[in-house]
């Protein structure tokens, strides 16, 4: 315990990115196309229309499989982290980052998902990356699946709907555990596993048009079940292969308040929150919760389970709970309640909260509420692995004065400190998009989260030069003082 700071002495301050949003080099050194490589940037679309931004067609799939129309697909270029990671890590180290969350692009290791041998160049890239992190005393926190499964698995099997994908993932995970066992201690299996319902293609390679009519929702639950099983098996294997390793689940924490204290609003909110807890209930408590089981039954959704699946879920639960938190929403039964966007969701507007340009309601107290709720429910260590403000930045005299971003983080850190003081066990904090990267939801470059600016626009023009924002110096000070100096 740090006696002067509310944060524990070894609190893991750091940053987070994902391979598909940062690396670029989408078809270099043997990498196969991933689902992310099939998503285009769509100018002039309503910023809150995620379905529109993530929509895809057969043309997109064809483009990605055959390497056409590169310029339209920003996630293929990212911010060229693939070639610039050494310089970028030096910047993260300069900020004092103790941990960096990255993901492994599965299709760099298994280009089609089921190749006879893993791709050595891909394995070597991540080995070099993790070694470089260690050189800077930056602890890697590695996500195995962050919206970037091999596109071929999506095409061949309708993604995670098919059981074979479980085997492919477990094999891929084991190759990673074997190769990086001396370098990586902290692992996450699936980024925002709940997002399969909101964007099934990018999360799990599932396309509704490939399901039999009427089976679309069932197929998504089937894919989710397969991810649960795969996650549990990967957790088992990680523990067996890497003594002392810790594996986390990862949830989009969509904290929802009732719009009013009308019991109908409270009930509707409760149901939303029960749904949000479903995923962590399975991955931490080791079983489908009874209310969810009954709900599936009432909706006529039958998940196919293999004998032994329930045992696997029960036996191989995770060590810690990680989550993203950006905003909160409210819920109302009033049909005319004003709606507002959140992270790939729509909810009801909260009159007490300001919102970002993308409509995400800024709610630091909601982070504290989330920490208290999650810790009270599970009594497992928590890790905030995504949080931040997407905003448009402008350069004035070579500087970026992003006081709005500093305010956002400061107010969230204050709430984190309070939650810790009130007894929550929090392992660390990794800001989302520590360096500006391509947006997951809109494929924009100009929705910036970073402490480090990257000179690139939505169409891919720019020098890719890196520039420290005001928030860079601020975060450095926060880390150096272990959160005392906010």
CB 76 within 8 A of CB 70: yes
The H or E element containing residue 256 is strand 255-258
Residue closer to ligand BG6 (CB basis): 53 or 466: 53
Of 86-94, 423-431, 433-441, 472-480, which segment contacts ligand BG6 by CB under 6 A?
433-441
- Coil, strand, or helix at residue 168? helix
Report the distance separating Cα 16 and Cα 344, nearest Å: 19
Part of the chain binding ligand BG6 (CB under 6 A), chosen from 67-75, 212-220, 272-280, 435-443: 435-443
Site for ligand BG6 in 447-466 (CB under 6 A): 447
CA angle 165, 148, 293 (to 5 degrees): 55
Separation in Å, CA 23 to CA 66, 76, 84, 102, 138: 20, 8, 9, 10, 18
CB of 450 to ligand BG6, least distance (A): 11
Q: Binding-site residue total for ligand BG6 (CB under 6 A)?
A: 15
Positions 17 through 36 that interact with ligand BG6 (CB under 6 A): 18, 21
By beta-carbon proximity to ligand BG6, the closer residue of 16 and 312 is 16
Nearer to ligand BG6, 15 or 441 (CB): 441
Q: Where in 238-277 is the site for ligand BG6 (CB under 6 A)?
A: 252
| Closer Cβ to ligand BG6, 123 or 206, answer by number | 206
Q: Please choose, out of 158-166, 225-233, 440-448, 468-476, the segment that lies near ligand BG6 by the rule CB under 6 A.
A: 440-448
Q: Where are the beta strands (DSSP E) in 274-377?
A: 320-324, 328-331, 339-341, 346-348
- CA neighbor of 453 nearest in space, from 465, 462, 442, 463: 465
Choices 230-238, 313-321, 329-337, 441-449 (CB under 6 A): range interacting with ligand BG6:
441-449
- Length of the chain as a residue count: 486
- Of the candidates 23, 155, 386, 417, the residue annotated as catalytic is 386
> CB neighbours of 141 closer than 8 A, spacing ≥ 6?
12, 14, 16, 99, 100, 101, 102, 186, 187, 188, 383, 385, 430
For residue 116, the SS3 value is: coil
**CB 24, min distance to ligand BG6, A:** 16
**Shortest separation between residue 214's beta carbon and ligand BG6, angstroms:** 29
At CA 114, angle to CA 113 and CA 115, rounded to 5? 105
Distance CA 74, CA 72 (A): 6
Question: For residues 158 and 141, is the Cβ–Cβ distance under 8 A?
Answer: no
Name residues contacting ligand BG6, limited to 277-336 (CB under 6 A). 324
Residues numbered 382-401 forming contacts with ligand BG6, rule: CB under 6 A = 386, 390
184-220: b (≥16 Cβ within 10 Å) or e: bbbbbbbbbbbbbbbbbbbbbbbbeebbeeeeebbbb
Nearer to ligand BG6, 247 or 440 (CB): 440
| Identity of the residue, 52 or 263, whose beta carbon is nearer to ligand BG6 in the bound complex | 52
Residue 268 and residue 335 in contact, taking contact as beta carbons nearer than 8 Å: no
**Which of 312, 321 has the CB closer to ligand BG6?**
321
Q: Which of 24, 441, 450, 483 binds ligand BG6 (CB under 6 A)?
A: 441
Using rule CB under 6 A, residue 432 touches ligand BG6: yes
192 is catalytic: no
By the rule CB under 6 A, 143 interacts with ligand BG6: no
Subset of residues 183 to 242 that bind ligand BG6, contact rule: CB under 6 A:
191-192
Query: How many Cβ atoms from other residues are within 10 Å of residue 324's Cβ?
Result: 21
Least Å distance between CB 17 and ligand BG6? 9
- State the nearest-atom distance from the C-beta of 133 to ligand BG6, in Å: 20
By Cβ distance, which residue is nearest to ligand BG6? 441
Give the shortest CB-250-to-ligand BG6 separation in angstroms: 8
14 in Cβ contact with 383 (< 8 Å): no
Catalytic residues: 386
Binding-site ranges for ligand BG6 (CB under 6 A) = 18, 21, 191-192, 252, 324, 343, 386, 390, 432, 439-442, 447
């Amino acid at each position: 315990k740090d006696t002067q700071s509310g944060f524990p002495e070894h609190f893991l301050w750091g940053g987070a990115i994902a391979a598909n949003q940062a690396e670029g080099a989408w078809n270099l050194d043997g990498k196969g196309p991933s689902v992310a490589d099939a998503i285009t940037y769509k100018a002039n679309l309503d910023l809150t229309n995620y379905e529109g931004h993530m929509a895809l067609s057969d043309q997109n799939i064809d483009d990605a499989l055959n390497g056409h129309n590169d310029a339209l697909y920003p996630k293929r270029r990212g911010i060229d982290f693939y070639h610039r990671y050494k310089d970028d890590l030096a910047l993260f180290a300069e900020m004092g980052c103790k941990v960096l969350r990255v993901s492994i692009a599965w299709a760099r290791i298994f280009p089609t998902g089921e190749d006879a041998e893993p791709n050595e160049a891909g394995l070597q890239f991540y080995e070099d990356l993790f070694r470089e992190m260690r050189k800077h005393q930056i602890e890697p926190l590695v996500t195995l699946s962050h919206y970037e499964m091999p596109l071929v698995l999506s095409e061949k099997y309708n993604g995670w709907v098919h059981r074979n994908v479980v085997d492919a993932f477990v094999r891929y995970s084991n190759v990673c555990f074997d190769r990086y066992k001396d370098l990586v201690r902290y692992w996450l299996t699936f980024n925002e596993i709940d997002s399969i319902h909101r964007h099934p293609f990018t999360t799990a390679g599932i396309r509704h048009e490939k399901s039999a009519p009427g089976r679309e929702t069932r197929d998504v639950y089937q894919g989710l079940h397969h991810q649960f099983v795969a996650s549990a098996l990967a957790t088992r294997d990680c523990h067996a292969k890497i003594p002392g390793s810790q594996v986390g689940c990862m949830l989009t924490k969509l904290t929802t308040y009732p719009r009013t204290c009308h019991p109908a609003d409270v009930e509707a909110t409760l149901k939303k929150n029960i749904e949000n807890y479903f995923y962590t209930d399975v991955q931490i408590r080791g079983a489908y919760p009874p209310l969810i089981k009954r709900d599936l039954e009432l909706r006529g959704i039958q998940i196919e389970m293999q004998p032994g699946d329930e045992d696997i879920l029960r036996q191989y639960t995770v060590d810690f709970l990680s989550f993203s938190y950006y905003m909160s929403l409210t819920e109302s039964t009033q049909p005319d309640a004003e709606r507002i966007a959140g992270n790939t969701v729509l909810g009801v507007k909260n009159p007490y909260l300001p919102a970002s340009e993308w409509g995400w309601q800024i709610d630091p107290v909601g982070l504290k509420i989330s920490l208290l709720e999650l810790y009270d429910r599970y009594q497992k260590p928590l890790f905030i692995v995504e949080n931040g403000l997407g905003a448009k930045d402008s350069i004035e005299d070579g500087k970026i004065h992003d006081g709005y971003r500093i305010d956002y983080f400061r107010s969230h850190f204050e709430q984190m400190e309070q939650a810790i003081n009130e007894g929550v066990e929090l392992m660390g904090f990794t800001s989302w998009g520590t360096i500006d990267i391509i947006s997951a939801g809109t494929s924009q470059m100009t929705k910036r989260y970073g402490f480090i600016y990257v000179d690139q626009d939505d169409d891919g023009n720019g020098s890719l030069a890196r520039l420290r924002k005001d928030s860079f110096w601020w975060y450095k000070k926060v880390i150096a003082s272990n959160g005392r100096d906010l």
